[in-house]
Structure 1
Amino acid sequence: MNIIKQLTQVTQANPLAPVYKIADKGYSYEDLQRQSDALAYQLNQHETLTRQAPILVYGGMSFDMLASFIGAMKAGHPYIPVDSQTPIERLQQIITVAQPALIIAAAPFPTEITRNCSLYTCDDLQRFTTNRFEALPVETAVTGDEIVYVIFTSGTTGAPKGVQISESNLISFTNWMQTTFDLPQQQRFLAQAPYSFDLSVMHLYPALLTGGQLMPLTKAATTNFKLLFETLPTLEVSVWVSTPSFMDICLMDAQFVQEQYPQLTHFFFCGEELTVKTAQKLQERFPTARIFNTYGPTEATVAVTQIEVTPTLLNEVNRLPIGYAKVDTPIVIVDEQLNEVADGEVGELLIGGPAVSRGYLNNSEKTTEAFIKYQGQHTYRTGDLGRREEGLFYYQGRRDFQLKYKGYRIELEDIDHNIEQLALVEHASVVAKLNGTKVQSLVAYVVVKTHPYEKVTQLTQQLKHELGLLVNDYMVPTRWVYVEELPLSLNGKVDRKALMNEVNQ
């Protein structure tokens, strides 16, 4: 049964049940149905929209974003979520690559953006609900191998890549979530990850398909610790979904303990490595809660492995395993020649099965590089290194210089490219400062042109400001090192490994 059919059944069973609450405003499943039906009807009446034409949805953690996703799906269109905090140049890059047929602005849309399509505003979305409309037949909705959403990730050339996820991919993930973790119905899910980050899918659809309620955190709350610690207890969430880095922030609050959050029973982590240190501290604070470590790239629909983190496990390992593979997901570990390695040996993780994306939107070259036929099956080359012991997988780092930082996947070459766009920069190379195997910070090595600044701190402040206009804030390096030239390897390329060794010696 497809996603929209499942959601329709949930709504019919309890239409007045709460589905979304942000600030003091609450919404029911009936509200979600009405607004999404009205939008779907409008999209279906649009003269130039063809089935499966992508729709970009721009905004923050608002209810309008959620209703727009569901409305697009009901009308047979994939949605492309883009956060309103995205820098202008990044947004323009995404639009250039995606070529959306329509933009829905659930937040004020930048006027300087070049677009060749219609735009619906928040006022339009409300107007659609007051006009006459009819619910489309459920058969009109996205289904099967049709694309349901496209999430953009960092790309090596400075251009982001749009990962296409089909309805079948999403069904594989939601079925796994519903059958694996013993989650009760009608839970309150923390919605911390922005919709442009595929971790959001882990709270979004498991909540909707079980009659649950989404409790979003605003950008203001996630960036102001005092406000965050005041807000979290008021949400009364029972299911927690976040990156480990966000949990590290929350654990700074001495009141973040089970006695203050008695309803919180499940923790889910994905997006980056969960350390033993973080897990131990959380387990001590919430001794009766269940903690799950999961792993998966965007290209394989959020997560494909899981393991429950117990006191016994924490006592047995120095580094947490990423877990056991989904039943429908074959994961193999191979050497550089794509030959499968023996248990205990380190190699690249290859992922197959029904959760694997068909590829990148309008980017056949990158699709061909990352998606291969392996043993006759469509397979994604993750670039992640791992090992397997008795069916249990362990993460061992990145094969290349793509990495996870603060839960986001970034490519260092992408940041290089954007730094080199700055007027005062000649060349740049960014590397990661590690704490064990986890990325602690980003360090930029930069060759600069002649500049007017007397102090290095002034120069750094200016470059950070300019870069922040081009990329997301988590991609701006913390430390900047100015050099006469970048080291080169024997083949004439920038020797990033040498810089990496220098930063981490």
Structure 2
Amino acid sequence: MFETFIAELRETLLAGGARQALITSDRTVSFGELAGRVEGILEALGKMPEGLSMIVGHKEPDCIAAMVACAIAGRPFTFADRATPRDRMQQIAITAGASHILAYGQETLPETLPVLTLKDLPTRRPRFDIGTSHRPEGTFYVIFTSGSTGTPKGVPISRSNYMALHRWYTPLLAAVRPEGAHVNHASMAFDMGMFDLWPTLSLGRPVQLLNHANNIMPRNNIRHLTRDEGASVASWASTPSLLQLMCTDPQFCAGYLPDLRFFVIGGEMLPGALVQELQKRFPLAQILNGYGPSEATCATHLYPISQADARADGPMKIGPAVGETQMQIVDHAGCEVRAGEEGELVLLGPQVISHYLPQDHPANMALSQQGGVNCYHTGDRARLDADGNLVLLGRIDRQVKLLGNRVELNEIERIAEDYPSVCRAVCLPQKDAAGRITGLQLFVEPSAGQTCRRDGLLAHMGRQLSAQVLPRELRLVSQFPITRNGKLDTQALLAGAADLPVSSASEPLARNPLMGATP
């Protein structure tokens, strides 16, 4: 029951005292201090219009306190990072049905809603009068995603959606190391931010909030994570892209982070080479391959990866569904396929949302019910192995047509990554002014200390791919840029492509740093 979760969170805040709760790049906030800020916001929130709160800021403790206040008061909320353009912020406010804004400071905000400035509010002695609007079907929070159109659509996570996650994931996190800190990198506007925050705080553990300014400066992140002995890092959740950047620093290892024993990695396809590197650097850590779209409340699969799994050929398996989630692999007609056959992944269960916002959004066609259970057609290509483990094969929309041939971009990337001197590869289509695909370009990150030659890589790929679908252009990058959510930033990658020419078919790909990474 959500009321039980809120009651437990309330007691954790009230009893936390001086124990660390939130650790940012410039300050540490105890549970007692956080409780006082929550009470101050609760008092002011009671004077704002009824309805959804739009919280605007970054990772300031007051923004976290505002989310906690909304949860206790029974008010739904959505979060918008202050870097969000005002027009998009306005779209989010309208789509979510926001009645007011809770802003950390003087951000550029929509002008049509009343604003409460969080940092101006006084700290109060916490009492936490729990609101009465905690109906299970009511909205807990709304996450926004752009989809293919670029127009934000809302993913409303109900209280019952969240509790279906909380029931299985929070005990798993609790078993890691009860007093250890959990690392958050993702924006609070992203579902992985919610995945980091609520289970950790409910356990009375601190959250280490990484500053996005350090996305491409792993040593700064390591300094942040090791500066306070009282908040030794125990668990971590992020995308593979962020971890690949962290692994460029030799200090990202058990020697500097000895209590880091639990990695959840999701949001992108997970390369086996990265897992092998993490297993070498953190030999006592459990590494889990995670999967779960926003529409299914953060995570539906967490598979512990063995050393044998990390060295196996092909894409990494993700295991069976966890918690109360069920899965099916279906063909174009919606019929289940046999184990080993490819199809679209469908998720069913209480973690799956019932609809998008607005409710007339065309994407709602992917959401339905089967026997009274919410069902989501994910758009992910997948198969089940003989043991019932899920194996993702990429997005259905990553299949492109080039010169009459159907091309799987994920397959090209996997073939390139099999080449000994390639650490990671990303394949993107080239398009003309009319939007027609005219060719493919491949971005390559070499393995540490290795030289990658164009002719050798193309010869390797040519043994498995027809000449018509071989990438026309190869570009070398020293590291792939990432977004605020830790995912691959394809826009920054494409914008920097012209600065990375390959001069000769027989010369090694010149190692130039890629500029333009999103902070």
The structure 1 residue matched to 2:309, chosen from 313, 328, 338, is 313
Distance in structure 2 (CA, Å) of the matches to 1:230 and 1:187: 17
Aligned to 2:27: 25
1:157 aligns with 2:149: yes
Aligned to 1:353: 349
Cα deviation code 1:43-101 (max 9, x no counterpart) = 2233x31xxx2111111111011001011112221111111222333323323322311
Distance in structure 1 (CA, Å) of the matches to 2:391 and 2:119: 49
Cα deviation code 1:349-377 (max 9, x no counterpart) = 11111111122122323353120123442
Comparing 26-35 and 324-333, the one that deviates more: 26-35
Sequence identity percentage: 28
Q: Is the 8 A contact 1:55 1:80 kept in 2?
A: yes
The structure 1 residue matched to 2:227, chosen from 234, 241, 245, is 234
Aligned to 1:474: 489
Q: For 1:357-396, list aligned pairs within 5 A.
A: 357-366=353-362, 368-389=364-385, 390-396=387-393
Question: What SS is found at the alignment partner of 2:227?
Answer: helix
Question: What SS is found at the alignment partner of 1:345?
Answer: coil
By how many angstroms is 1:139 displaced?
A: 4.5
1:198 aligns with 2:191: yes
Distance in structure 1 (CA, Å) of the matches to 2:373 and 2:95: 28
Cα deviation code 1:212-256 (max 9, x no counterpart) = 001111122224345334434336411111111000001001122
Give the direction of change, closer, same or farther, for the CA distance of 1:368–1:439 in structure 2 (3 Å limit). farther
Q: Which amino acid aligns with 1:261?
A: L
By how many angstroms is 1:136 displaced?
A: 4.9
Could you state the TM-score of these two structures normalised by the residue count of structure 2? 0.75
Give the direction of change, closer, same or farther, for the CA distance of 1:134–1:384 in structure 2 (3 Å limit). same
Give the direction of change, closer, same or farther, for the CA distance of 1:286–1:336 in structure 2 (3 Å limit). same
Q: For 1:66-77, list aligned pairs within 5 A.
A: 66-77=64-75
Q: Which amino acid aligns with 2:17?
A: P
Distance in structure 1 (CA, Å) of the matches to 2:399 and 2:46: 40
Q: Is the 8 A contact 2:208 2:225 kept in 1?
A: no
The structure 2 residue matched to 1:82, chosen from 80, 83, 88, is 80
Aligned to 2:458: none
Could you state the TM-score of these two structures normalised by the residue count of structure 1? 0.77
By how many angstroms is 1:442 displaced?
A: 5.1
Distance in structure 2 (CA, Å) of the matches to 1:142 and 1:107: 29
Aligned to 2:106: 108
Comparing 223-232 and 19-28, the one that deviates more: 223-232
Q: Is the 8 A contact 1:161 1:363 kept in 2?
A: no
Give the direction of change, closer, same or farther, for the CA distance of 1:108–1:322 in structure 2 (3 Å limit). farther
Aligned to 1:44: 46
Give the direction of change, closer, same or farther, for the CA distance of 1:229–1:212 in structure 2 (3 Å limit). closer
Cα deviation code 1:411-443 (max 9, x no counterpart) = xxxxxxxxxxxxxxxxxxxx9796228872656
Aligned to 1:445: 431
Q: Which amino acid aligns with 2:74?
A: G
Aligned to 2:137: 145
Aligned to 1:435: 413
The structure 2 residue matched to 1:8, chosen from 2, 10, 17, is 10
Give the direction of change, closer, same or farther, for the CA distance of 1:147–1:306 in structure 2 (3 Å limit). same
Distance in structure 1 (CA, Å) of the matches to 2:366 and 2:207: 34
User: How many residues of Structure 1 are paired with residues of Structure 2 in the alignment?
Assistant: 423
The structure 1 residue matched to 2:254, chosen from 236, 251, 258, is 258
Comparing 141-150 and 261-270, the one that deviates more: 141-150
Question: What SS is found at the alignment partner of 1:81?
Answer: strand
Question: What SS is found at the alignment partner of 2:98?
Answer: coil
By how many angstroms is 1:16 displaced?
A: 2.8
Give the direction of change, closer, same or farther, for the CA distance of 1:11–1:141 in structure 2 (3 Å limit). farther
Question: What SS is found at the alignment partner of 1:193?
Answer: coil
Unmatched segments (≥5 aa) in structure 2:
401-407, 416-423, 435-482, 498-519
Q: Is the 8 A contact 1:186 1:212 kept in 2?
A: yes
Q: Which amino acid aligns with 2:393?
A: Q
Q: Is the 8 A contact 1:443 1:477 kept in 2?
A: no
Give the direction of change, closer, same or farther, for the CA distance of 1:446–1:6 in structure 2 (3 Å limit). farther
By how many angstroms is 1:207 displaced?
A: 0.9
By how many angstroms is 1:135 displaced?
A: 3.8
Aligned to 1:284: 280
Distance in structure 1 (CA, Å) of the matches to 2:183 and 2:495: 35
Aligned to 1:496: none
Give the direction of change, closer, same or farther, for the CA distance of 1:252–1:135 in structure 2 (3 Å limit). same
Q: Is the 8 A contact 1:41 1:135 kept in 2?
A: no
By how many angstroms is 1:177 displaced?
A: 1.0
Unmatched segments (≥5 aa) in structure 1:
404-430, 449-467, 483-505
Distance in structure 2 (CA, Å) of the matches to 1:318 and 1:444: 26
Cα deviation code 1:306-353 (max 9, x no counterpart) = 110121322445321112211311111111111111111111111111
Question: What SS is found at the alignment partner of 1:145?
Answer: coil
Instruction: Give the RMSD, CA atoms, in angstroms.
Output: 2.8
Give the direction of change, closer, same or farther, for the CA distance of 1:259–1:171 in structure 2 (3 Å limit). same
Question: What SS is found at the alignment partner of 1:101?
Answer: strand
Cα deviation code 1:439-465 (max 9, x no counterpart) = 7265663529xxxxxxxxxxxxxxxxx
Q: Is the 8 A contact 2:104 2:119 kept in 1?
A: no
Q: Which amino acid aligns with 1:39?
A: I
Distance in structure 2 (CA, Å) of the matches to 1:42 and 1:337: 53
Distance in structure 1 (CA, Å) of the matches to 2:80 and 2:428: 24
Distance in structure 2 (CA, Å) of the matches to 1:331 and 1:83: 33
Give the direction of change, closer, same or farther, for the CA distance of 1:477–1:445 in structure 2 (3 Å limit). farther
Q: Which amino acid aligns with 1:190?
A: V
Larger RCO, structures 1/2 (Cα 8 Å, 6+ apart): 1
Question: What SS is found at the alignment partner of 1:199?
Answer: helix
Comparing 317-326 and 159-168, the one that deviates more: 317-326
Q: Which amino acid aligns with 2:290?
A: T
Comparing 391-400 and 135-144, the one that deviates more: 135-144
Distance in structure 2 (CA, Å) of the matches to 1:82 and 1:108: 14
Comparing 5-14 and 186-195, the one that deviates more: 5-14
By how many angstroms is 1:170 displaced?
A: 0.9
